[in-house]
């Protein structure tokens, strides 16, 4: 095996292992794409009338980097045993989190897909140094490319002609890259819900048409579905759900329609079948 083919083999194993870990952890991890969408949503909720520009976001990022460096200075001072104030690793974690959040806000303002940028930068560095560890460019599970009806190209938003067409249709005037990111985030959050609701409404409508002539529970008026546990009420000539019958013995009668006597067991409900004869009494076995 040549050196190059061995490198490719190791690279594929690394990619497969990472992809398995990524997919297994989708339910419990936070992607940068999801974090970016969350920041867009929170900005609209927090300060919808304020649109910080790139210079503000850049200064904000620089300030948070400075605060993290200040904590590191105090930690190193303690490590060397020098005199002065101290700090904690937990505080450093908080400041580093602020750095990450501010970097995402800069990306939003500049119209950058931060998840794609991070993955591509990581992989470029690995390739330049002939390292086998790379990250697969996996589309975020909440991304638009997962939804029917939206352009499936991973590079949709980076295509200037697509972006300009959408923004012109929405704003009919000047717009910024932050406007574009806000719009894309809004669609990303609402498209899945709207699609799911449409499918649910269509299904419910179809079921309603099928159930127009179906038997309904005489107590709750809900359509009966085959297999529902029911009783037959001879007085009202109709079925009712077993759950709609009260616990009082007075609610039940014997096969002959007479009230239950002391010691008589409460009749058992039976599975509803549309073609079952009226007045059917369940006796513990299935009646053909």
Domain definitions of the chain by residue range: 3-143, 213-288
Taking residues 89-97, report their average pLDDT. 97
What is the residue-averaged pLDDT of the chain? Answer: 71
Q: Is the pLDDT of residue 61 over 90?
A: yes
Query: 279 is written with which tokens?
Result: 């007045």
In the prediction, which pLDDT does 181 show? Answer: 66
C-alpha 124 chain-centroid distance: 31
- Cα angle 252, 253, 255; round to 5: 135
Query: 145 is written with which tokens?
Result: 């490319």
**Starting at the edge strand that comes first in sequence, how are the strands of the sheet with 238-241 ordered?**
238-241, 229-233, 270-271
Distance CA 275, CA 287 (A): 12
Note whether 233 and 249 are within 8 A (CB): no
In the prediction, which pLDDT does 76 show? Answer: 96
In the prediction, which pLDDT does 47 show? Answer: 85
Taking residues 130-140, report their average pLDDT. 74
Q: Is the pLDDT of residue 244 over 90?
A: no
In the prediction, which pLDDT does 199 show? Answer: 61
pLDDT digits (tens, 9 = 90+) for 162-199: 556 666 666 666 666 666 666 666 666 666 666 566 56
Residue with tokens 């609701």: 197
In the prediction, which pLDDT does 157 show? Answer: 47
- For the chain, the maximum distance between any two Cα atoms, rounded to a whole number of angstroms, is 97
């Amino acid at each position: 095996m040549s050196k190059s083919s061995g490198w490719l083999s190791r690279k594929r194993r690394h990619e497969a292992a990472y992809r398995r870990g990524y997919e297994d952890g989708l339910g419990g991890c936070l992607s940068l794409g999801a974090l970016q969408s969350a920041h867009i949503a929170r900005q609209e909720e927090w300060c919808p009338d304020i649109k910080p520009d790139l210079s503000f976001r850049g200064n904000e990022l620089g300030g948070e980097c400075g605060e993290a460096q200040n904590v590191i200075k105090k930690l190193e001072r303690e490590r060397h045993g020098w005199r002065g104030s101290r700090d904690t690793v937990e505080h450093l974690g908080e400041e580093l989190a602020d750095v990450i959040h501010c970097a995402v806000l800069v990306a939003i303002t500049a119209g950058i897909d931060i998840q794609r940028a991070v993955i591509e930068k990581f992989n470029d560095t690995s390739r330049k140094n002939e390292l086998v560890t790379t990250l697969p460019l996996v589309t975020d599970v909440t991304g638009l490319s997962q939804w029917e009806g939206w352009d499936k190209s991973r590079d949709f938003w980076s295509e200037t002609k697509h972006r300009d067409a959408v923004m012109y249709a929405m704003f009919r005037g000047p717009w910024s890259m932050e406007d574009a990111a806000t719009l894309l985030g809004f669609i990303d959050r609402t498209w899945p819900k709207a699609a799911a609701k449409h499918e649910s409404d269509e299904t419910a409508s179809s079921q309603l048409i099928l159930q127009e002539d179906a038997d309904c529970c005489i107590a709750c008026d809900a359509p009966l579905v085959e297999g529902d546990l029911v009783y037959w009420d001879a007085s009202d000539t109709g079925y009712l759900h077993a759950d709609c019958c009260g616990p009082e013995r007075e609610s039940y009668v014997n096969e002959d329609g007479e009230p239950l006597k002391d010691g008589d067991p409460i009749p058992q409900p039976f599975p509803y079948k549309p073609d079952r004869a009226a007045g059917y009494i369940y006796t513990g076995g299935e009646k053909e």
